[in-house]
Structure 1
């Protein structure tokens, strides 16, 4: 295991940038994006700063990335650092964007959550097409949406981290059938919550689990395959990447931890890079028209 020491408040949203052969991730609270070349993991990551809280990174075919930040979509040139506003998003006052990703048909999904009272004010889920048209898939019905793993083109796993439930949701003809969801995994009797995740080529789901100090691997049926224990309390997300797509990068957070917990888990907020025996499923590139 490679450990990239950091003290991020809310490390999140890791991706592998295949064209640049580099890892990228965010610190949402501190409004930063980090990039680290895979071949030179001993160096310090480069840092890009934003005026809004970024929550999703999406690879672009031109070596840039798209960043979903609070209520904007921004194109970031990783070489020059130039940030270009592409569009504004339908995010109400008091809310921000949270997790999301690109599904198998190339559409970009993002969720919203209330910044201070997600239980009282549920968030929504939207999809963006290649012409930057935005469609609401779920309005004010999910508190803290996470995971967004497409097991098949017609089936997506979405968690409500506040409720500590991961749902298996049908998706047909461009419509998320939330009313037909079933519970894929229930952690509500524990302290743990499902957070960001990734899928391997066998359809297994790797899920970072907040307050549990682990990444848990599930079969597509929901059966637990294995747990990867980590020296942090709050793993927050994970992604596959590397030259053979067999590395798993895991982010973590210090948000909400007290002094005793930080002393017990001094690596909290760091990045962890594991080499696995299984290959990850590549995430499609979002290509704008």
Structure 2
């Protein structure tokens, strides 16, 4: 099923590459990161899709890959060189873990917290010619490598019952599912959840050859369906718990990066988007590239999980 949604621009000044959005229910704010802009962003939103005031920015010393709220206040932030705690917006950062990789070649990318309050963040190998990305988990005992074998870690999410974890390798055009042990955080029984068609050789935006994009960030709704942003595909896919395509939702930009659910009823779907590295012709055709967009949906999402040290 294809849908023709009505998207609204929540922001009008674009980011380079916005990512990692989450809805903060206590603050009625949407948070996200601008990776190349080396900044965090947040915006108060009244009702369902009405921005209140201006976007607030918090500059970072390095690229932020992902963020999550902290129980009781503050943010946990994955920067290139490590994971940090920011107790107050715009304040100082406390390093929780040092990045366990070569920061000249890798950085943290997509991540979020599980229902047990552990922070997960995957790494991205910037040369993109080897599958050196790793999924890490931060708990009270430190930082642990939980899964490897990807080039670009993306699409992390959990089923509503917490028994299934999803993790994507963007370069492989593949979303994987795992059995998830909530007590230990262990991932097992890995299998292909959904395989996208690879990018045609030499393909560029505007080519006649069909290309549906590759899996970027993701979110799960209350029915257990997995919403996957398709980078360069100009669409989101809503996949059933069995990995079948239930809906294709077109976006007004070629490169959506990650969805999340928010608003008082969790029926507002927000997406972050990218303009980084896109051609002048493409940006002229799609002026909302890099902006945060929103639309109303029929099925509510899941509340964001907070970090508990």
Q: Secondary structure at the residue paired with 2:14?
A: coil
Shift of 1:226: 1.4
TM-score by length of 2: 0.86
How many matched pairs? 283
Q: Flag structure 2 segments of 5+ consecutive residues without an equivalent.
A: 1-6, 200-210
Alignment counterpart, residue 167 of structure 1, candidates 153, 173, 176: 176
Alignment counterpart, residue 246 of structure 1, candidates 255, 264, 267: 267
Shift of 1:95: 0.9
1:123-142 equivalences under 5 Å are 123-129=133-139, 131-139=140-148, 141-142=149-150
Q: Distance in 1 between matches of 2:233 and 2:217?
A: 13
Q: Distance in 2 between matches of 1:233 and 1:265?
A: 8
1:188 to 2:188 alignment: no
Q: Distance in 2 between matches of 1:65 and 1:43?
A: 21
TM-score by length of 1: 0.92
User: Aligned in 2, Cα 1:72/1:275: closer, same or farther, shift over 3 Å?
Assistant: same
Q: Is the 8 A contact 1:105 1:153 kept in 2?
A: no
Which residue matches 2:117?
106
Which residue matches 1:2?
8
Q: Is the 8 A contact 1:73 1:87 kept in 2?
A: yes
Q: Secondary structure at the residue paired with 1:181?
A: strand
Q: Distance in 2 between matches of 1:189 and 1:206?
A: 19
Q: Secondary structure at the residue paired with 1:166?
A: strand
Q: Is the 8 A contact 1:91 1:97 kept in 2?
A: no
Q: Flag structure 1 segments of 5+ consecutive residues without an equivalent.
A: none
Q: Secondary structure at the residue paired with 2:277?
A: coil
Q: Which moved more, 1:1-10 or 1:272-281?
A: 1-10
Q: Which moved more, 1:245-254 or 1:219-228?
A: 219-228
Which residue matches 2:58?
48
Q: Is the 8 A contact 2:80 2:107 kept in 1?
A: yes
Which residue matches 2:39?
32
User: Aligned in 2, Cα 1:57/1:174: closer, same or farther, shift over 3 Å?
Assistant: closer
Shift of 1:91: 2.7
Shift of 1:9: 1.4
Shift of 1:153: 2.4
